[in-house]
């Protein structure tokens, strides 16, 4: 069993690296010479009002504040995230352990790492990261989310040490905060200016630190599954949770991160199996995908 697991892990890692190299290496090279390549990224519209020192949209804040009480209801509007969370965590754990040379099989493989969970919501990622030994800071611009996160984390002595703050990545940058690893999962599709948001994430990351972003691809398949099916047919999410035009393609995300000083080194897709009701890592990045990058040593 151990040999089979190692073979599967190694083959998956190899295939993901192959996809990253074949699909994105030309883009990464081009980004070094054509720094304006991402100028066509979605930009804030004139009628959108964002809070000071924040790339978030007002209506996005209101949307998530309305369902904040449901963060820890595994059958509620955040059910897809609860189902996806173990798979997201497996990718993060593996990538961080490789990069920081940690033992992935130890009880607390992330011990000693300072991690910030940007857009932490109710803390459903912050808590398992803390249980893996990380020193976690969870930030969210919705005050109700932070209150829910604090209450839930306080129920367990292991997670009660998490620092939850109602603030934004931009404010943390102004405060001069730095972290070994920066997480922004299912967040970038809700911000007004992805490029500026990624600059903030990079500014929070120490040189040679890690940045992890997960989001939804702007593909027709994603429109059919993440919006039509998830919001209107299966009703896993409240209608209007996502705007297809706000999604980024993997190529766009790679270019944006490159401009911010983050080099994407690994990428994987998330695929849902309706029979088992579980998510798994895949080479298929046509809908949900996650990217792991590292900050250049000469970038500040």
d(CA 166, CA 168): 7
Residue 46 falls within a domain, yes or no? Answer: no
- Inter-residue contact 102 to 110 (CB < 8 Å): yes
pLDDT (0 to 100) of residue 246:
75
Mean pLDDT value across residues 144-160: 96
pLDDT (0 to 100) of residue 282:
95
Is 88 annotated in some ligand binding site? Answer: yes
d(CA 72, CA 79): 9
Residue 263 falls within a domain, yes or no? Answer: yes
Residue 129 falls within a domain, yes or no? Answer: yes
Confidence of residue 239 (pLDDT cuts 50, 70, 90): low
Q: What is the pLDDT of residues 96-105, one digit of tens each?
A: 999 999 999 9
More confident residue, 297 or 81: 81
More confident residue, 173 or 41: 173
> Which CATH number goes with the domain that contains 124?
3.40.50.150
Which of helix, strand or coil describes residue 135? strand
Is 186 annotated in some ligand binding site? Answer: yes
- What's the Cα-to-Cα distance from 144 to each of 10, 49, 123, 151, 166, rounded to whole Å? 41, 20, 12, 11, 9
Residue 155 falls within a domain, yes or no? Answer: yes
Residue 258 has pLDDT above 70, yes or no: yes
Residue 23 falls within a domain, yes or no? Answer: yes
- What range does the domain containing 140 cover? 2-37+52-295
Q: How far is CA 215 from the centre of its chain?
A: 6
Count CB neighbours of 155 within 10 A. Answer: 9
Confidence of residue 296 (pLDDT cuts 50, 70, 90): confident
pLDDT (0 to 100) of residue 277:
85
Residue 234 has pLDDT above 60, yes or no: no
Confidence of residue 72 (pLDDT cuts 50, 70, 90): very high
Residue 47 falls within a domain, yes or no? Answer: no
Chain-wide mean pLDDT for the chain?
81
Is 60 annotated in some ligand binding site? Answer: no
Q: Which residues, 6+ apart, have CB-to-CB distance to 165 below 8 Å? A: 137, 138, 139, 146
Is 119 annotated in some ligand binding site? Answer: yes
pLDDT (0 to 100) of residue 228:
58
Residue 298, φ and ψ in degrees, nearest 5: -95, 15
Count of structural domains, the chain: 1
The least confident of 27-41, 63-77, 162-176, 211-225 is: 27-41
d(CA 294, CA 73): 34
Residue with tokens 């995300």: 253
Is 13 annotated in some ligand binding site? Answer: no
Confidence of residue 135 (pLDDT cuts 50, 70, 90): very high
Residue 44 falls within a domain, yes or no? Answer: no
Residue 300 falls within a domain, yes or no? Answer: no
Mean pLDDT value across residues 43-51: 39
């Amino acid at each position: 069993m151990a040999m089979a697991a190692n073979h599967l892990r190694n083959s998956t890692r190899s295939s993901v690296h192959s996809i990253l190299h074949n699909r994105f290496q030309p883009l990464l090279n081009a980004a070094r010479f054509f720094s304006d390549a991402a100028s066509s990224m979605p930009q804030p519209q004139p009628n959108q009002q964002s809070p000071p020192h924040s790339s978030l949209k007002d209506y996005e804040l209101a949307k998530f504040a309305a369902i904040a009480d449901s963060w820890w209801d595994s059958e509620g509007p955040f059910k897809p995230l609860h189902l996806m969370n173990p798979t997201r965590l497996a990718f993060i754990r593996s990538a961080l352990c490789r990069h920081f040379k940690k033992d992935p099989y130890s009880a607390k493989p992330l011990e000693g790492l300072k991690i910030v969970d940007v857009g932490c919501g109710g803390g459903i990622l912050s808590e398992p990261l803390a249980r893996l030994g990380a020193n976690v800071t969870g930030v969210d611009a919705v005050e109700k989310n932070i209150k829910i996160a604090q209450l839930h984390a306080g129920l367990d002595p292991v997670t009660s040490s998490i620092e939850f703050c109602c603030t934004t990545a931009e404010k943390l940058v102004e405060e001069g905060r730095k972290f070994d690893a920066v997480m922004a999962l299912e967040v970038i599709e809700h911000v007004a200016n992805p490029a500026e948001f990624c600059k903030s994430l990079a500014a929070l990351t120490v040189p040679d630190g890690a940045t992890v972003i997960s989001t939804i691809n702007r593909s027709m398949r994603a429109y059919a599954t993440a919006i039509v099916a998830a919001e209107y047919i299966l009703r896993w999410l409240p209608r209007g949770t996502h705007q297809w035009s706000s999604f980024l393609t993997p190529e766009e995300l790679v270019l944006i991160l490159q401009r911010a000083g983050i080099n994407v080194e690994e990428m994987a897709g998330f695929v849902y199996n309706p029979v088992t009701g579980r998510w798994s890592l895949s080479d298929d990045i046509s809908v949900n995908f996650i990217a792991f990058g590292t900050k250049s040593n000469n970038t500040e």
